[in-house]
A = this chain, B = another copy of it.
Amino acid sequence: MTLKEYVKHSIDSNFKGELPFVYNEKRVKKNYVFIDYEETEKKIYYLKTGIVFVEIEYNSNGKILDFFFENSFFASYSSLLLRKPSDVRITAFSDCVVEVVDYEELTKSYETSLIANKLGRIETEKLYARKVKREKELLTKTAEQRYMSLLSEYPQIVQKIPIKDISMYLGIRPESLSRIRKNLIY
């Protein structure tokens, strides 16, 4: 789905015409880095096809913090919103097609455009609801329950990602995850 189709489909069924900001399609290969540590984010990406992942630096390694799938928006949001260097790196997990929105442009359109604000509000609400769910899981579920939940939500991802990255996503040590996996009956 293109960005324009997505806005009509998920934001406002009455939407027609053009979006009030410029955006450009970009095709990137697997392992392309959209934004790296210490860079300041200036773009928001609409992911048309593909998967990207977000890493955070931890003990001088990068560990996976989040995934984004097609028909969603991604960026180093805290870098964008707080206008400071990014503490995450965002990488293409597969070949991707994205539509790239310039954040300055978007911010200008926020001043006067209803559809831009609707889009920004609804997408941020979705991101927020995901983070709240994740926080609750980190605080109240066991590592095993969190792993099962990940497995049922993203089965293909779990198979493709190294144990050390999954364990970091779950907030546990790789050895603990290996133990959990051994105890599971597939």
Contacts and interface: CB of A to CB of B under 8 A. Distances in A.
A171 B138 contact: yes
Q: How many copies does the complex hold?
A: 2
A96 interface: no
Interface stretch (A28-36, A119-127, A147-155, A157-165): A119-127
Contacts of A135: 65, 131, 134-135, 138
A182 interface: no
A129 B171 contact: no
A78 B129 contact: yes
A184 interface: no
A129 B132 CA distance: 11
Contacts of A129: 77-78, 81-82
A81 B133 contact: no
Contact of A124 (B56, B82, B128, B168): B128
Contacts of A63: 139-140
Interface of A: 56, 58, 63, 65, 77-78, 81-82, 87, 110, 112-114, 117-118, 120-121, 124-125, 127-129, 131-136, 138-140, 168, 171
20 contacts: A56-B140, A58-B139, A65-B139, A77-B125, A77-B128, A77-B129, A81-B129, A110-B121, A113-B114, A114-B114, A117-B117, A120-B125, A121-B121, A124-B125, A127-B128, A128-B128, A131-B131, A131-B135, A135-B138, A139-B171
